[in-house]
Amino acid sequence: MAKAVLKRFISLVLAALALILIVWVLGKFNNQSAQVGDLSPEEISQKISLVQTLTGHSDAISSIAISADSETLVSGSHDKTVKLWDLKTGKLLRTLEKHQEPVLSLAISPNGEVLASGGVDNTINLWSLKTGQPLNTFSAEGGWVTSLAISPDGQTLASSRTGNLINLWNMKTNSLNHTLKKEISLPVTSVAINPNSQILASGGSDNTIRLWYLETGELFNSLKGHQGWITALAISPDGQSLVSGSIDTTIRLWNLKTGEQQRTLRAHSYSVSSIAISPNGELLVSGGADGEIRIWNLKTAQRLRTLSGAHSKTISSLAFSPDGQFLVSSSADSTINVWQTH
């Protein structure tokens, strides 16, 4: 009888200790999670650190894109290839070769199934992101494909071209919906689509940003202020702000709804070549022809940090992973740097 009672007592004590341990571990985990989630933009910027450098391209890298699941990194290069990498390990997964000239632009569909690449050969190639198999090719008059954007609803692919126009493609039917030319007199260099897939922003060599209704292709606003051609565009996750970079060395912040210019940032000593906004909408990152990456508080426009020395030439493209864990930069020096954000 005594042995049974003792055995029962020991079992209860062990169960209680196990429960205490579980509560302690969960509490510690929750506290750590809260600490990461509560970090200010300033604190996050100071935690950004270089974790790996990817090499493999034989010429300048022009564009990068990251899949929606934050697993796959894609790079396009002047060496005419597109490369797929495991973002976390840096392993090269495959190399896609179909373009006859340098690759200038990339975009990945929101469902992570389709990769689009465009380049100097005037074509847009569609690929299966999972297998690397070619799916389709879009060809249209209009010159080099300088920028690509796929709408968040996955319906439309927008492509800007050096032939002073923008093509809007239906991703389901693989057909051309609209060709936008109104008031465009010089090459278009960048496009971006807002989160609700209603507005397309374009920028080009005429120093002007144009806003279009994506469904109809109607031009409804033109934003002027830059003193040089537009090199990069990004729209905040809440759809409220449009950010533009230019060879005039400035970054400008605009109210996307009203078109009002809100701030001008004296960003780099040379041309601003690329910009990206963090998934939580708190950080703006810019890259320049000076090879530097600068981190800003998007809300206050305060410069928080400068990352120098990681690249030796122009920063060609910047991208945050959708999970916010990584910032990736590419350069004309043929390298890709992967930065951990916390």
Full 3-state SS string of 140-198: CCCCCEEEEEECCCCCEEEEEECCCEEEEEECCCCEEEEEECCCCCCCEEEEEECCCCC
CA–CA distance, 161 with 186 (Å, rounded to integer)? 10
The predicted structure's pLDDT at residue 42: 87
For the record, the structure tokens of 63 come out as 């564009």
Q: Are residues 25 and 74 in the same domain?
A: no
Burial label, 152 (beta-carbon count in 10 A; 0-12, 13-18, 19+): middle
Q: What are phi and psi of 27, to 5 degrees?
A: -65, -40
- What is the pLDDT at residue 133? 98
pTM recorded for the entire structure: 0.88
Task: Identify the pLDDT of residue 39.
Answer: 79
Residue 281 has what DSSP assignment? S
Q: Within this chain, do residues 92 and 199 fall inside the same structural domain, yes or no?
A: yes
135 shares a domain with 9: no
Q: Note whether 60 and 84 are same-domain residues.
A: yes
Per-residue pLDDT of the chain (342 residues; tens, 9 = 90+): 555 544 554 454 344 434 333 333 334 334 433 334 567 888 888 999 999 999 999 999 999 999 999 999 999 999 999 999 999 999 999 999 999 999 999 999 999 999 999 999 999 999 999 999 999 999 877 899 999 999 999 999 999 999 999 999 999 999 999 999 999 999 999 999 999 999 999 999 999 999 999 999 999 999 999 999 999 999 999 999 999 999 999 999 999 999 999 999 998 999 999 999 999 999 999 999 999 999 999 999 999 999 999 999 999 999 999 999 999 999 999 999 999 998
**Tokens in use for 292?**
């530097």
Q: Same domain, yes or no, for 118 and 137? A: yes
> How far apart, in whole angstroms, are the C-alpha atoms of residue 231 and residue 272?
7
State the number of CA atoms in the 13 A half-sphere of 290 facing the CB: 15
Please indicate, yes or no, whether residues 5 and 151 belong to a single structural domain of this protein: no
Q: Residue 43 CA to chain centroid, in angstroms?
A: 22
Place of tokens 């934050």: 70
- Judged by DSSP in three states, 270 sits in coil
Residues 17 and 95 in one domain: no
Tell me the residue range of the domain where 308 lies: 40-340
My answer on whether 9 and 158 are in the same domain is no
Domain match, 30 and 139 both: no
Letter for the amino acid at 125?
N
Q: Are residues 7 and 53 in the same domain?
A: no
Does 147 share its domain with 26?
no
Structural domains in the chain (count): 2
Alpha-helix runs per DSSP H in the chain: 2-37, 41-47
